Amino acid sequence: MNNKKIMIYGANGYTGELIARAAVARGYRPILAGRNAAKLQPLADELGLPAMAIALDASETLERSLRDIDVVIHCAGPFSATAEPMLRACIAAGTHYQDITGEMAVYRLAHSLHAEAKAAGVVLCPGTGFDVIPTDCLAAALHRAIPTATHLTLGFDSDSGLSPGTAKTSIESLGVGSAVRRGGKIETIGHGELTRTIDFGRGEKFAVAIPWGDVATAYYTTEIPNIEVYIPMSPRRAKKMQRMNKFRWLLRKAWMQNWLKGKVDQKVHGPSEEKRSDQKTWVWGEIRNDRRGERKIGRVTTANGYDVTVHGSLAVMEFLLDYQGDGGYFTPSKLCGSELVEKLPGSGVIKIGID
């Protein structure tokens, strides 16, 4: 074990705590950090780890606290509010940054900071968990199969429910709409507007396009100009989503967003370890070159989303602890290779063929 220092910011959250416990099990002694000392201290005491309360809006204090930290795993959402101050503080402090967000806006922000991060020798790698690691690795593998591809479609079918953080991210998109990439640019479309039937790996299912982060990350990995992301959904629920488009103006209101997120805090809780062990995820991708009539399908099976996030975050952290390359923005597969997902506990091998 090397002597480099790790900080887990937001360690008192459900996924942050899972990552902290798994890091200790591997022999690491991360610093647990967050905005609330009272919430951090019980876990720090149990694990015998140092704890540090730092407000993200105290930029000078945050930067100073990061100067002797080698890698930050940022787990405190909502990332729409928390990512930018941590990203900028890491660049200023010379600290590698990774997080567990699924928010497209964070990926676009980190990508926009590439030049600054490269100049500072700092790696920015948001999305080091589910679903970005599996879908990003699959996208990279599919792109190798058809390097001239014009269209990429990704999706996943999971037994896992949404984590509180992912549920809140989904709420933020309700007032905006869904999203796809067309001609290299991200376009907003209506909820439930695009549907198709997909065999994610356990039989055909009705599926709906969603505004998932891969619309950004898969483009940064492959530069394929047309990208969509799907999840299975009942036709009835898809119809409800379509009706919701009439009320997007209301769903954007701050008070409505806060009310819905409050419901998440009351009702959405992470599953037990026993329940997680019984859950799997089926990840699917389709790549095409429509000009040449080429098409291939890729699939990989992984553990449940929480375990992918825990093991994926630690795998990227370990990669960064020994990293000697350039700084800048990276997707997980660009940083660690498309085989990253195959190395995670519970994952299978990426398989590509003609369906």
CA distance 28 to 303: 23
Contact assessment for residue 100 and residue 73, using Cβ atoms and an 8 Å cutoff: yes
Alpha-helical runs (H) found in 198-296: 214-222, 235-244, 248-251, 254-267, 273-277
Enter the tokens of residue 4: 């480099």
- Per-residue pLDDT tens, the chain, 355 aa: give them: 557 899 999 999 989 999 999 999 999 999 999 999 899 999 999 999 999 999 999 889 999 999 999 999 999 988 989 999 999 999 999 999 999 998 999 999 999 999 999 999 999 999 999 879 999 999 999 999 999 999 999 999 987 766 666 677 677 777 778 899 999 999 999 989 999 999 999 999 999 999 889 999 999 999 999 999 999 999 999 899 888 888 887 888 888 888 888 887 777 666 666 666 678 999 999 999 999 999 999 999 999 989 999 999 999 999 999 999 999 999 999 999 999 999 999 999 999 997 6
User: Which residue in 301, 310, 299 sits closest to 279, CA to CA?
Assistant: 301
Rg (C-alpha) for the chain, rounded Å, is 20
Sequence-distant (≥ 6) Cβ neighbours of residue 9 within 8 angstroms: 16, 33, 34, 54, 72, 73, 74, 75, 76, 86
Sequence-distant (≥ 6) Cβ neighbours of residue 7 within 8 angstroms: 30, 31, 32, 33, 52, 66, 69, 71, 72, 73
Enter the tokens of residue 91: 């660049």
CA 208 to chain centre: 19
Sheet harboring 71-74: ordered strands across?
A: 51-53, 31-34, 6-9, 71-74, 96-99, 123-125, 328-329
Angle at 182 between CA 179 and CA 187, to 5 degrees: 35
pLDDT at position 168: 72
- Domains of the chain in sequence order: 6-130+306-336 (3.40.50.720), 132-304 (3.30.360.10)
pTM: 0.93
Contact assessment for residue 218 and residue 154, using Cβ atoms and an 8 Å cutoff: yes
